[in-house]
């Protein structure tokens, strides 16, 4: 699988590049005060409303907004709409990386010691060129997002 690598809080992550529409630096975001903690806000991207999510909130049950006022603009990976979905999602990142190849031989199932449900958003972990990448499972994130919103 070819994957887009990115960094969040000094940690390396990757996601299947076929799910990515684009990466936007400094995407203006409007906070939604009553939204669940995983939602940083919404953004207008080329006439479409994008719901911008925080991966750390899914992983650690940390409310992105608890660290202070939500940012006005964030670096975001915007995903292609899932089949049959009207919602389009984006994910806040610190920095986009390179395209990497993740071979099945490189990836090992990822289970966090806490066995927290949130960690199902990471499907596996792979060591590539000496760095450990957590492979993000967008389908799990989408399902958790839908459960939070509905």
Residues with Cβ within 8 Å of 86's Cβ and at least 6 positions away in sequence, in order, are none
Q: What is the pTM of this model?
A: 0.81
State the residue range of the domain holding 44.
Answer: 2-149
67-81 pLDDT per residue, tens: 555 556 778 888 888
Give the number of other CB atoms < 10 A from CB of residue 30. Answer: 13
37-76 pLDDT per residue, tens: 788 889 999 888 898 988 877 666 444 444 555 556 778 8
Q: Residue 7 is part of a domain; what is its CATH number?
A: 2.40.50.180
- Band (pLDDT 50/70/90 cuts) for residue 147 is low
Split into its structural domains, the chain has a count of: 1
CA distances from 86 to 9, 44, 51, 80, 83 (A): 30, 14, 11, 11, 9
Nearest to 135 by CA among 144, 146, 127, 147: 127
2 token code pair: 């070819």
């Amino acid at each position: 699988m070819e994957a887009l690598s990115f960094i969040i809080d000094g940690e390396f992550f990757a996601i299947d590049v076929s799910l990515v529409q684009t990466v936007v630096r400094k995407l203006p975001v409007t906070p939604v005060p009553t939204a669940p903690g995983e939602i940083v806000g919404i953004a207008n991207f080329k006439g479409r409303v994008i719901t911008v999510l925080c991966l750390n909130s899914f992983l650690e049950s940390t409310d992105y907004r608890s660290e202070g006022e939500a940012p006005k603009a964030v670096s975001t990976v915007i995903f292609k709409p899932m089949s049959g979905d009207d919602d389009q999602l984006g994910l806040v990142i610190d920095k986009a990386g390179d395209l990497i190849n993740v071979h099945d031989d490189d990836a090992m199932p990822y289970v966090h010691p806490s066995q927290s449900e949130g960690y199902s958003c990471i499907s596996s972990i792979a060591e590539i060129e000496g760095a450990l990448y957590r492979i993000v499972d967008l389908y799990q994130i989408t399902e958790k997002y839908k459960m939070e919103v509905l």
